[in-house]
C-alpha cells in the first residue's frame, strides 16, 4: 500500500494586493502567497471577483515554504523553553505534537544528539547534533527523541505584539 504526505495546508487569513496588482494570500503560518490569474498558465479567475475571493478566507492553501521549514521575514523571538537534558525533556515533546497557529519554533541542540521527525512533504527525518538546529513551522506535527545524553532548548518565534 502506497503512502504519501500531503503538503502543509495553512489557513487563508486575509488578502492584499501586490505592487504588481496580483492578489496575495496572507496565511496563518505568516507566509504570503501570490495568487495571480494569468490564463492559460494560472487560471484563478476567482481572485478577480471580490465575493469569490473573500469566500476563500478560512480555507486551506498548500504552503511549500512551510514544507521547506523557511521562516517568514520579520519574526521575533517571543520566548524560550528549556534547557532540558535527556531526563528532563518533557514526554510530550518525544511524541507527535504541534506548535500553535502562527507559532514558529526552533529546536537547538547544544550537546548530544536527538532524532527529529517532522511531517513535511516529503517527510523529514534527521539526526540533530550539538551545534545544530531545526526550524518548525506552525501546526506542523513533529517529535524530538534523545539519543543518549543531550542538552537542548526550544525558541518560539512570531510577530511582535
Among 31, 25, 10, 13, smallest CA distance to 120 is for: 10
- Res. 10 pLDDT band, cuts 50 70 90: confident
End-to-end CA distance of the chain: 46
pTM above 0.75, yes or no: yes
- DSSP H helical ranges for 18-135: 50-55, 64-67
Long-range CB contact pairs, 124-130, < 8 A, 24+: 124/69
Domain of residue 144: give its range: 76-158
How far apart are alpha carbons 99 and 13 in whole angstroms?
18
Q: Given 46, 67, 88, which residue is the final one in a domain? A: 67
Q: What CATH number is given to the structural domain containing 90?
A: 2.60.120.10
Q: In the numeric block, which cell numbers belong to residue 73?
A: 521575514
What are the tens digits of pLDDT across the range 106-161? 999 999 999 999 988 788 999 999 999 999 999 999 999 999 999 999 999 999 87
Amino acid at each position: 500500500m502506497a503512502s504519501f504526505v500531503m503538503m502543509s495546508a495553512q489557513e487563508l487569513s486575509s488578502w492584499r494586493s501586490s505592487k504588481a496588482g496580483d492578489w496575495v494570500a496572507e496565511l496563518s503560518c505568516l507566509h504570503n502567497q501570490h495568487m495571480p490569474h494569468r490564463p492559460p498558465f494560472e487560471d484563478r479567475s476567482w481572485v478577480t471577483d471580490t465575493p469569490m475571493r473573500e469566500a476563500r478566507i478560512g480555507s486551506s492553501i498548500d504552503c511549500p515554504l512551510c514544507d521547506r521549514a523557511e521562516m517568514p521575514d520579520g519574526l521575533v523571538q517571543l520566548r524560550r523553553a528549556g534547557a532540558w537534558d535527556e531526563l528532563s525533556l518533557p514526554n510530550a515533546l518525544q511524541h507527535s505534537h504541534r506548535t500553535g497557529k502562527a507559532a514558529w519554533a526552533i529546536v537547538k541542540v547544544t550537546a548530544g544528539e536527538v532524532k527529529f521527525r517532522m511531517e513535511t512533504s516529503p517527510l523529514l527525518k534527521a539526526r540533530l547534533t550539538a551545534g545544530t538546529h531545526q526550524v518548525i513551522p506552525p501546526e506542523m506535527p513533529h517529535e524530538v527523541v534523545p539519543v543518549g545524553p543531550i542538552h537542548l532548548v526550544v525558541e518560539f518565534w512570531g510577530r511582535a505584539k
